[in-house]
Structure 1
């Protein structure tokens, strides 16, 4: 598999970000943000940890917390069968780089002094095993994600933003209680398949990505898409108003413009900048 930076860089050459819109009138190229290049794997490890901590802060700001439920993980670039995630009892809005826990593929803490969420390990370990192309995964009990999950249905492609998930999300239609069994994690990973998101019926949402940034943005967007669909369902129920579904050809084209790993990474950068400014970088410590 090509390195993440290489994959993201190659994708940026064939979309609407570059080309005519990528140059000034005088022909000078515009600066398009892209996944950074690192001199060492240690530098990339620190980058991933910083953006993981930022993702937790962003999730906390949006109310995606619920007690000790919810977790975001990122694969370690040096120890590829290890991943970083949150300690059990620190609120998302308080997590910093120094709080992050490194665990191995068996769930044993390698770096850190606190336990992890057992459900986090049961789900995330199996996703990381099943998807070597995925370096990050997000799961939280967001209100709109929970509400839509009750229907056990995929989302309709009826808004532009929903097209990020066109033929790229699934529904896990079983609820077997709190996920503590790794076999349940394997079934969830199997349901996810090669997609970027899975809706867990009666539970919540999971998104994955080649970067922590992409996985986090997919989650933010997926939850908003659930909110939009819930509003549409409520407004149209019994009213006789016809809902317009976006045709396949337009959906495919839009997905290629908005649903790629490179676009997911880029879309999270304003959130990173915002939380960096609001916290004065406190999560970097």
Structure 2
């Protein structure tokens, strides 16, 4: 029996599939606090732990410019809804006990520059950190990594510990309008339109860095044609798919701890 869709071209099939995903990939309803706490736990499970290094922030939806972040002194695996802080752009604590990471200052610079950004992730995962030591940008040369195609900036000179306003200017400027940046001798920064998007981009960024290092050790990395990389980017990086993938990662926490 011939399939009824056998006469359709690829563009039509992709549009049909995208429409179905919009209606059938039902997202899980969570509070912002729950989503941020889950993001911390998910990133810990996916290799983004580095002691007390790294920050996750998410803008409150009330227009105040305040954001949620984790308390300095706790690892990502220790974060829950009860110990998150609410801070203002100057890192004054509005709600909660403890202090934020002083490096959150560069997050404020990104939020001021990018009104589209709702969540920022900065971590030092192993493979990303190793790649950051080589003096070369992240290679996007696998279908899964195409989520990041055209989205990753490269900061080739390390400005030092990012607790000053100069570092905020440098990092926000190199990021520009993109969703991520590789910071030399440092790690990654992700600027997402949602917490879920920032989380899944950060997970994929570290996997892409691992693929980069493995492929480069074996030989020359072959470039993907730009048109195909853009096609894969647009197919993978959608709000619905990001939230469905986030839900998958969240279910993994329940299954495996």
Answer yes or no: same fold by TM over 0.5: yes
Q: TM-score, normalised by structure 2?
A: 0.88
In the TM superposition, what is the alpha-carbon distance from 1:30 to its structure 2 partner? 6.5
Partner in structure 1 of residue 100 of structure 2: 116
Match of 2:154 in 1: 171
Match of 1:8 in 2: none
Which secondary structure does the structure 1 equivalent of 2:82 belong to? helix
1:148-163 to 2 correspondences below 5 Å: 148-163=131-146
1:263 aligns with 2:241: yes
Secondary structure of 1:190's aligned partner: helix
Gaps of 5+ in 2: 1-13
**Contact preservation (8 Å) 1:84, 1:103:** yes
Q: Partner of 1:181 in structure 2?
A: 164
Once residues 251 and 26 of structure 2 are traced to their aligned partners in structure 1, the CA distance between those partners, rounded to angstroms, is 12
**Which of 208, 221, 228 lines up with 2:204 in the alignment?**
221
Verify the 8 A CA contact 2:90 2:105 in the aligned structure 1. no
Q: In the comparison of the two structures, how many residue pairs are matched?
A: 244
- After superposition, give the CA deviation of every residue in 1:27-59 in whole Å (9 maximum; x if it has no partner): xx97322475xxxxxxxxx71110100011112
Q: 2:87 aligned to 103, 110, 129, which one?
A: 103
Q: Does 1:66 align with 2:50?
A: yes
Cα distance, 1:178 vs. partner? 1.1
Q: Work out the CA distance in 2 between the residues paired with 1:56 and 1:75.
A: 15
Secondary structure at 1:113 match in 2: coil
Q: Considering only aligned residues, what root-mean-square deviation do their CA atoms show, in Å?
A: 2.1
Pick closer, same or farther for the CA change 1:16–1:71 going to 2, 3 Å.
farther
1:66 Cα deviation from its structure 2 partner:
1.8
Conserved? CA contact 2:25–2:240, under 8 Å: no
Cα gap change, 1:79/1:111 in structure 2, threshold over 3 Å: closer, same or farther? Answer: farther
TM-score (norm 1): 0.80
Deviation at 1:16, TM superposition (A): 5.9
Unaligned runs of 5+ in 1: 1-13, 24-28, 37-45, 237-241, 280-285
CA distance in 1, matches of 2:146, 2:192: 16
Distance of aligned partners of 1:18 and 1:163 in 2 relative to their CA distance in 1, 3 Å threshold: closer
Question: Is contact 2:28–2:247 with CA below 8 Å preserved after alignment?
Answer: no
The question of whether the paired residues in 2 share the 8 Å contact of 1:160 and 1:254 is answered with: yes
